[in-house]
Amino acid sequence: MKPLESGSGPKPTESTEASESSERSNFIRDIIIADIQAGKHGGRVQTRFPPEPNGYLHIGHAKAICLDFGLAAEFGGKCNLRFDDTNPSKEETEYVEAIMEDVRWLGFEWDGLFYASDYFGQLYEWAVQLIRADKAYVCDLSADEIRQYRGTLTEPGRESPYRYRSIEENLDLFERMKKGEFPDGSRTLRAKIDMSSPNLNLRDPVMYRILHMHHHRTGDAWCIYPMYDYAHGQSDSLERVTHSICTLEFDNNRPLYDWFIEQLCIFPSRQYEFDRLSITYTLLSKRKLLRLVQEGHVTGWDDPRMPTLSGMRRRGYTPEAIRNFCANIGVSRTNGITQLSHLEYFLREDLNRSAARVMGVLRPLRVVIDNYPDDLVEEMEAINNPEDESAGTRRVPFSKVLYIEREDFREDPPKQFFRLAPGREVRLRYGYLITCRSVVKDKDGNIVELHCTYDPATRGGNTPDGRKVKSTIHWVSAAHAVDAEVRLYDNLFTREDPDEVEEGQDFTANLNPNSLEALTRCKVEPGLRDAVAGARYQFERMGYFCVDADSSPGRPVFNRTIGLRDTWAKIEQRGKK
Ligand code: ATP
Ligand code: MG
């Protein structure tokens, strides 16, 4: 546990001032500035954020969102939200709604709201146009055969035997594909580019596949669906996107992105790639996060251990903390790994500024103050937020029987343990100085109660004679305390890289069996009785906590967002080594 001063851990090396970091240079920003100066597109900036609605957004998406929306805002431009919904097998309306909620929660509002499926008609017409120009053909190879014909990085591919079908035959077959005459997987439409290109994406990539499947928006209107590469650039172009920003793994798709735009002579959107966010102890892949949900390793997409925005929100992350983090990590063209502590730094920094302070005891130990009047209740004045004077003060009841934190007492205190011990005096935060006189144990030797005395001259924790006490601890009045549940979280994975596994295993082998600890007998100060879900607090000395939606009237449930910097645990750990 931490001494009372609030603080937020080691500072990342770079400046963390929000105003400064949002303007920190990055190479995409430099490109935009150069384009504006050159008068490209009349100085107009249009970006888009293009999630596939096949899962919830995660912290990696937050980086992309901050870039897409942030750069547009910085240069007086616009940013669209476009759902890349070209794969009906994985996409759902639930995800569409969750994504919109998360983007807004993060603090952004889109200009246009679009769906790639809005463009199915136009994309089809363009495909016909490419067939007419002898730039696309219907191919009867199976998916496996297409893969075999594609060749490798060192060997050129082979041309499909269907590559030289007549334009008329292609037009006829493509139309019949659309009408639903052929079964799934029996035919594709492919671009006619170059089977010996060093870029595998240019070896006659598939543009359309047959999929008799219900789409969350277009229903059963279509049974052919465009591939990502055929849909993405054209969607950008239709929205007159000037800077299409995506992650580095799309680097090799850029020539194909450009090829379609050039062949169709449409608005010349350009793609720019940046480094994908990876964080230690964290998985950032919707496919894998979906498995965690489906296999019950977590309670849902919004489990507070999930790196999804909905999980982080429930855990108690603030949008500001996430935005500041995203601004600080910067943008580059080299994938790296960011320390989780780097994200946590920005979380603590923001919560330290904004969270109201309260007292809550997680593992209660009863304390009776023998010389305190039986029926007296005093209202002690407590400061709500030392970082924010305008937050004011509140009154906390003090009485004869209190709870303190079990770990704030040691019968046989080790060196450097300055909290309560037999015969020792400590300060109760906003209360009095108390001295431990005796210890009551049950028949098994467990400590069940302490008997203390208090010094009436020390009200508010002052020492009129100037005597020193080395420790201040928190407490709640037993008669006034509210019962609460507190959920403590640890990393979901035990390895820095959750994907690092033995042969035959997968990331689930690295799940941390102790990632959740629920404490059901906690005691919190009375003002928290009806705390509102989503409200964030600092429990003095114990960390930051957020009220969970599982709370019921009179029985709040808190998620520990993150601990304070834990100095004593460090001392103890050092001792053990
Ligand atoms: P996942 O592998 O988690 O499914 P994705 O890239 O397939 O991610 P999309 O919905 O296609 O997810 O992503 C929408 C946008 O968010 C894309 O521009 C993508 O590049 C970006 N993005 C996704 N993951 C990250 C990440 N870890 N870091 C930065 N940007 C990301
Ligand atoms: Mg994707």
Point out the ligand 1 atom lying closest to the alpha carbon of residue 285.
Answer: 3
Residue with the two structure tokens 């930051």: 544
- For residue 61, the ligand closest to its alpha carbon is 1
How far apart, in whole angstroms, are the C-alpha atoms of residue 164 and residue 143? 19
Nearest CA to ligand 1 atom 25: 60
Nearest to 75 by CA among 15, 34, 119: 34
Binned at pLDDT 50, 70 and 90, residue 20 comes out as very low
Q: Is the CB of 52 under 6 A from ligand 1?
A: yes
Q: Is the CB of 288 under 6 A from ligand 1?
A: no
What does the pLDDT look like over 179-200, one tens digit per residue? 999 999 999 999 999 999 999 9
Instruction: Indicate the residue type of 300.
Output: G
- On whether the CB atoms of residues 248 and 274 are closer than 8 A, the answer is yes
Q: Could you tell me the distance, in angstroms and rounded to a whole number, from the CA of residue 228 to the centre of ligand 2?
A: 9
How far apart, in whole angstroms, are the C-alpha atoms of residue 54 and residue 92? 7
- On whether the CB atoms of residues 51 and 60 are closer than 8 A, the answer is no
DSSP state of 52: -
- For residue 329, the ligand closest to its alpha carbon is 1
| Mean pLDDT in residue range 387-402 | 97
CATH class of the domain defined by 136-225: alpha beta
- Would you say residue 8 has pLDDT above 60? no
Which tokens sit at 81? 């939200």
- Within 13 Å of residue 39, how many CA atoms lie on the same side as its CB? 0
DSSP state of 534: T
How far apart, in whole angstroms, are the C-alpha atoms of residue 432 and residue 438? 18
Nearest CA to ligand 1 atom 15: 51
Q: Could you tell me the distance, in angstroms and rounded to a whole number, from the CA of residue 84 to the centre of ligand 2?
A: 8
Q: Is the CB of 360 under 6 A from ligand 1?
A: no
What does the pLDDT look like over 145-180, one tens digit per residue? 999 999 999 999 999 999 999 999 999 999 999 999
Point out the ligand 1 atom lying closest to the alpha carbon of residue 64.
Answer: 30
Nearest CA to ligand 1 atom 4: 286
Binned at pLDDT 50, 70 and 90, residue 57 comes out as very high
Q: Is the CB of 286 under 6 A from ligand 1?
A: yes
Q: Could you tell me the distance, in angstroms and rounded to a whole number, from the CA of residue 233 to the centre of ligand 1?
A: 16
Q: Could you tell me the distance, in angstroms and rounded to a whole number, from the CA of residue 103 to the centre of ligand 1?
A: 14
Pocket test for ligand 1, best of 61, 277, 286 (most atoms within 8 A of CB): 61
Pocket test for ligand 1, best of 247, 285, 308, 499 (most atoms within 8 A of CB): 247
Q: Could you tell me the distance, in angstroms and rounded to a whole number, from the CA of residue 137 to the centre of ligand 2?
A: 26
Q: Is the CB of 48 under 6 A from ligand 1?
A: no
- Would you say residue 523 has pLDDT above 60? yes
- On whether the CB atoms of residues 476 and 497 are closer than 8 A, the answer is no
Point out the ligand 1 atom lying closest to the alpha carbon of residue 63.
Answer: 29
- On whether the CB atoms of residues 535 and 522 are closer than 8 A, the answer is no
- For residue 69, the ligand closest to its alpha carbon is 1
Going by CATH, does the domain composed of 16-120+231-350 fall within 3.40.50.620? yes
Q: Is the CB of 307 under 6 A from ligand 1?
A: no
- For residue 96, the ligand closest to its alpha carbon is 1
- Within 13 Å of residue 249, how many CA atoms lie on the same side as its CB? 3
Q: Is the CB of 64 under 6 A from ligand 1?
A: yes
How far apart, in whole angstroms, are the C-alpha atoms of residue 294 and residue 317? 24
- Would you say residue 340 has pLDDT above 70? yes
Kindly list the distances between the CA atom of residue 259 and the CA atoms of 264, 382, 443, in Å, as whole numbers in the listed order. Answer: 9, 66, 81
Summary mean pLDDT of the chain: 94
Nearest CA to ligand 1 atom 13: 51
- Within 13 Å of residue 392, how many CA atoms lie on the same side as its CB? 2
How far apart, in whole angstroms, are the C-alpha atoms of residue 378 and residue 283? 50
The model's pTM: 0.93
Going by CATH, does the domain composed of 357-480 fall within 2.40.240.10? yes
Q: Could you tell me the distance, in angstroms and rounded to a whole number, from the CA of residue 52 to the centre of ligand 2?
A: 6
Q: Is the CB of 61 under 6 A from ligand 1?
A: yes
How far apart, in whole angstroms, are the C-alpha atoms of residue 316 and residue 355? 10
Which tokens sit at 95? 């995800």
What does the pLDDT look like over 454-463, one tens digit per residue? 999 999 999 9
Q: Is the CB of 90 under 6 A from ligand 1?
A: no
DSSP state of 409: B
| Whole-number pLDDT of residue 98 | 98
Q: Could you tell me the distance, in angstroms and rounded to a whole number, from the CA of residue 51 to the centre of ligand 1?
A: 7
Q: Could you tell me the distance, in angstroms and rounded to a whole number, from the CA of residue 488 to the centre of ligand 1?
A: 29
- Would you say residue 534 has pLDDT above 70? yes
| Whole-number pLDDT of residue 398 | 98
Q: Is the CB of 51 under 6 A from ligand 1?
A: yes
How far apart, in whole angstroms, are the C-alpha atoms of residue 558 and residue 228? 42
What does the pLDDT look like over 254-296, one tens digit per residue? 999 999 999 999 999 999 999 999 999 999 999 999 999 999 9
Q: Please state whether 554 falls in left (phi above 0), alpha (psi between -120 and 50) or beta.
A: left
- Would you say residue 567 has pLDDT above 90? no
DSSP state of 531: P
Point out the ligand 1 atom lying closest to the alpha carbon of residue 278.
Answer: 27
Domain boundaries, the chain: 16-120+231-350, 136-225, 357-480
| Whole-number pLDDT of residue 565 | 80
Residues forming the active site: 52, 276, 286
327: Cβ–Cβ under 8 A, 6 or more apart, which residues?
18, 21, 22, 24, 66, 70
> DSSP string covering 195-261, please?
TT-SSGGGSS-EEEEE----BTTTBTS-SEEE-HHHHHHHHHHHTT-SEEEEEGGGGGGHHHHHHHH
- For residue 276, the ligand closest to its alpha carbon is 1
What does the pLDDT look like over 354-377, one tens digit per residue? 999 999 999 999 999 999 999 999
| Whole-number pLDDT of residue 1 | 46
